[in-house]
Amino acid sequence: MRMSTGRHYIGGDFVVPARGETADVFEKATDTKIGTYALGDVDDVRLAVASALCAQPAWAARLPAERAAVLRRMAALLESRVDEFVSTLVRETGGVIAKARGEVAAAINRLQVCASLGALSRGDVQPSPKHGKLTLLERVPLGVVGVITPWNFPLVLAMRAVAPALAAGNAVVLKPAELTPIAGGQLLAEVAAEAGVPPGVFNVVTGLGPAAGQPLAEHPDVALIHFTGSNAVGRLMTSIAGLRRTSLELGGSNAFVVLDDADVQKAATCGAWSSFDFQGQTCISSSRHIVDRTLHDDYVAALVRQAGQIVVGNPIQPGVALGPLISAEQRDRVHSLVSRSVDMGAQVLVGGKYDGLFYEPTVVVGVTPEMPLFVEEVFGPVAPVTAVDDEAEALELTNSCQALVNAVHTDDLMRGLAFAQQLHSKNVHVNDAGPRPTDADDVDLDEFTRRRWIGVQR
Ligand code: NAD
C-alpha cells in the first residue's frame, strides 16, 4: 500500500482525514478496487489552507532558479515513474494506454516549461506621471491558489494550474475529482514530497465536490480558485468567488461542420475520432456534426463504418480503442440524451446500447436544434448528425451553442478560413479537430500573479 492511500497530503505529511472517513477507488473497466481516498471536509481544507498560507512567503522568497530546480525534479520523478502513472491513469479513468502516455508526457512538459518561467522578466519600468519619479511594475504571487480538477485528464489538468502557480511563488491546495483521486492527487503528492517541494507549499485534499471542493472555493484566504469542470459547478464557483479571482475552464457543445465540397472520407475519419476518442469524454470532443445535405448520406455511412470498426473493451488490452465510461451516472446521462432525442424523432443508426459502463460507439441522425443531443455537451461516444441546406445555416447552427473548439471541413482552405473567422468559439480547426490549435497562450503567468506598481520619488 502506498503511503498516500486514504490520506490527504497537508503540510508535507500524509494525514488521515479529520472525520476519519475514506472511500474506495475502482478500476472503471473491471470494477476492481484499486485504492482508497480520504473523504475531506471543511476541517481538512482549513488545515491545508493554513499550511499553504504559512509556507507560501518562504517559497516566494526563494530564488526563481531554486523553484525551477524543484519543478524539474518533479518532472524527472514523473518520468522515472511513467509506467506506474500510465497504468494508474488507464485503470482509474478507463482511457487507453496511448491517451495515458500522452497525458503523462504533457504533464512532464508542463513542469519543464513552467520551471523556466521564473527566469523570465516579471517586471518593467513604466512611464511615470510625475517628474523625478521612477515607477516600477512587478508581478508578485497571489498567495494560496486553490485548484479543483475533473476526472477526464486528472494529471495534466492538475498540472496545468499547479506548475505555473508554484513557479510563480504561490502555494497550492489541490482538490482532485473523486473519481480519479490517485493519478489526480495522491501520486502527485508523492512526487512533490520526493522532489523536495517544501512542506505546505503543495497540498492535496481529496473528497467529494460539495464537502471538500466547496469549502476550498469559499475559503477567504484562497486568493485564486482555478476550476476545471462542468458549467453547472463553474457557475457556482463564480457565485461563491464574489470579488475574488476565479479562473474557469468549462465545457461546451463543439460543432464539427462538413461543407458541401469536403472530402467525405477524410472528414468522417476525423469526425469519428473527434466524437469517439476517450469515449467522447473530453472538453474538445465533437458534440454535433453539422453536415451539408448533399454529402449527408455518404458522410453518415462512413461514420457508421468507422464506428463498427472500433474495438470496445478493457483499455489495458492491446487493440482496444474504446474503454468504459467513467461512471454509471455518466452512462445514464449519455443514454438519456440519446433516448430523449430519439423520442423527439432522431434515429440511431449504430450503437445506442451499453453493457455495464461500455457504451457502443453511436451514430444518431435526424438531430434537430431542439434536441438534447444538439444542445447539451454529450460527453459520451456519440456522433449526433444534423443535415443543413447550406453554409449559412451551418454557420447559424454552429454559433447557436457555446463551444470550446469548433471544426470546419472543406476542400477550399480560404472558404474554411472565412467560415472559421465567423465562428464565436475561441478555437477553430479547418480540416482537423481536437485540442486547441496553439500552445502560445497556454501558460499565462498573469493568471497566477498580481501586478504591483511602486513609485519612487527621487
Ligand atoms: P464537475 O464540475 O462535476 O467536477 C469538477 C470538479 O469539481 C471535481 O473535482 C468535483 O469534485 C468538483 N465539484 C463538484 N461540485 C462541487 C462544488 N459544489 N464545489 C466545489 N467543487 C465541486 O465536472 P466533471 O464531471 O468532473 O468534468 C467534466 C466537465 O469538465 C465537462 O463539462 C468538461 O467539458 C469539463 N472540462 C473542461 C476542460 C477545459 O479545459 N475547458 C477540461 C476538461 C473537462
Which CATH number goes with the domain that contains 293?
Answer: 3.40.309.10
Does residue 276 fall inside a structural domain?
A: yes
Taking CA atoms only, the protein residue closest to ligand 1 atom 9 is: 177
Q: Which SS3 state, helix, strand or coil, does residue 56 take?
A: helix
Q: For residue 175, which atom of ligand 1 is closest to its CA? A: 9
- Annotated active-site residue 283? The verdict is yes
Alpha carbon separation from 19 to 7, 51, 207, 295 (Å, rounded)? 11, 19, 12, 59
Per residue in 304-318, pLDDT tens?
A: 999 999 999 999 998
Same domain, 244 and 304: no
Q: Using CA atoms, how far apart are residues 92 and 106, in angstroms rounded to an integer? A: 18
Same domain, 14 and 47: yes
- The mean pLDDT of 448-457, rounded to a whole number, is 94
Task: Answer whether 53's CB lies under 8 Å from 60's CB.
Answer: no
DSSP 189: H
Alpha carbon separation from 109 to 68, 156, 164, 170, 413 (Å, rounded)? 13, 10, 12, 20, 32
Same domain, 207 and 221: yes
CA of 85 to the centre of ligand 1 (A): 21
Does residue 342 fall inside a structural domain?
A: yes
- Annotated active-site residue 249? The verdict is yes
Q: Using CA atoms, how far apart are residues 323 and 28, in angstroms rounded to an integer? A: 9
Does residue 174 fall inside a structural domain?
A: yes
Domain count across the chain = 2
148, 246, 281: which to mutate for ligand 1, most atoms within 8 A of CB? 148
Does residue 3 fall inside a structural domain?
A: no
Q: Residue 164: pLDDT above 50?
A: yes
Q: Using CA atoms, how far apart are residues 357 and 170, in angstroms rounded to an integer? A: 39
Q: For residue 160, which atom of ligand 1 is closest to its CA? A: 40
CA of 228 to the centre of ligand 1 (A): 5
CA of 152 to the centre of ligand 1 (A): 9
Per residue in 263-272, pLDDT tens?
A: 999 999 999 9
Number of neighbouring beta carbons within 10 Å of residue 232:
9
Does residue 2 fall inside a structural domain?
A: no
Q: For residue 177, which atom of ligand 1 is closest to its CA? A: 9
Per residue in 70-99, pLDDT tens?
A: 999 999 999 999 999 999 999 999 999 999
Same domain, 155 and 297: no
Same domain, 196 and 279: no
Q: For residue 283, which atom of ligand 1 is closest to its CA? A: 34
- The mean pLDDT of 232-241, rounded to a whole number, is 94
Q: Residue 8: pLDDT above 60?
A: yes
Question: Can you give the residue range of the structural domain that contains 27?
Answer: 8-250+439-457
- The mean pLDDT of 413-439, rounded to a whole number, is 92
Q: Using CA atoms, how far apart are residues 422 and 436, in angstroms rounded to an integer? A: 17
Give buried/exposed letters for 348-378 (b at 16+ CB in 10 A, else e).
bbbbbebeebbbbbbbbbbbeeebbbbbbbb
DSSP 445: G
Edge-to-edge strands of the sheet including 427-430?
A: 347-350, 362-365, 382-388, 286-292, 254-258, 405-409, 427-430
Q: Which SS3 state, helix, strand or coil, does residue 172 take?
A: strand
Instruction: Identify which of 154, 181, 139, 172 has the alpha carbon closest to the alpha carbon of residue 26.
Output: 181
Same domain, 163 and 233: yes
Ligand 1 proximal residues by C-beta, below 6 Å:
148-152, 157, 175, 177-178, 209-210, 213-214, 217, 228-230, 233, 236, 249-251, 283, 377, 379, 404
Taking CA atoms only, the protein residue closest to ligand 1 atom 40 is: 249
Q: Using CA atoms, how far apart are residues 148 and 85, in angstroms rounded to an integer? A: 20
Same domain, 296 and 330: yes
- The mean pLDDT of 144-168, rounded to a whole number, is 97
Same domain, 186 and 207: yes
Would you state the cell numbers that stand for residue 442, as one nine-digit string? 497556454
Taking CA atoms only, the protein residue closest to ligand 1 atom 12 is: 209
Q: Which of 74-88, 286-300, 351-365, 442-456 has the lowest mean pLDDT?
A: 442-456
Q: Using CA atoms, how far apart are residues 25 and 39, in angstroms rounded to an integer? A: 12
Does residue 14 fall inside a structural domain?
A: yes
Q: Which of 79, 194, 249, 393 is catalytic?
A: 249
The residues, ordered by sequence, that sit 6+ positions from 414 with a Cβ below 8 Å of its Cβ are none
Mean pLDDT estimate for the chain: 95
Same domain, 387 and 446: no
Same domain, 62 and 174: yes
Q: Could you tell me what percent of the chain has a pLDDT over 90?
A: 91
The pTM of the full predicted model, rounded to 2 decimals, is 0.96
Q: Using CA atoms, how far apart are residues 237 and 75, in angstroms rounded to an integer? A: 30
- Residue 408's pLDDT is what? 98
Same domain, 290 and 231: no
Confidence of residue 325 (pLDDT cuts 50, 70, 90): very high
CA of 353 to the centre of ligand 1 (A): 26
Does residue 432 fall inside a structural domain?
A: no
Does residue 301 fall inside a structural domain?
A: yes
Confidence of residue 1 (pLDDT cuts 50, 70, 90): very low
Go through the chain and tell me how many residues it has.
458
Same domain, 43 and 124: yes
Q: Which of 94-108, 240-254, 305-319, 432-446 has the lowest mean pLDDT?
A: 432-446
Taking CA atoms only, the protein residue closest to ligand 1 atom 16 is: 209
What is the largest distance, in Å, between two alpha-carbon atoms of the chain?
77
- Residue 440's pLDDT is what? 53
Which helix (H) or strand (E) segment is 398 a member of? Answer: helix 391-398
147, 152, 378: which to mutate for ligand 1, most atoms within 8 A of CB? 152
227, 233, 377, 404: which to mutate for ligand 1, most atoms within 8 A of CB? 233
Number of neighbouring beta carbons within 10 Å of residue 173:
31
Number of neighbouring beta carbons within 10 Å of residue 455:
12
Which CATH number goes with the domain that contains 71?
Answer: 3.40.605.10
CA of 177 to the centre of ligand 1 (A): 7
Q: Which of 114, 270, 283, 401 is catalytic?
A: 283
The residues, ordered by sequence, that sit 6+ positions from 7 with a Cβ below 8 Å of its Cβ are 14, 15, 16, 17, 38, 186
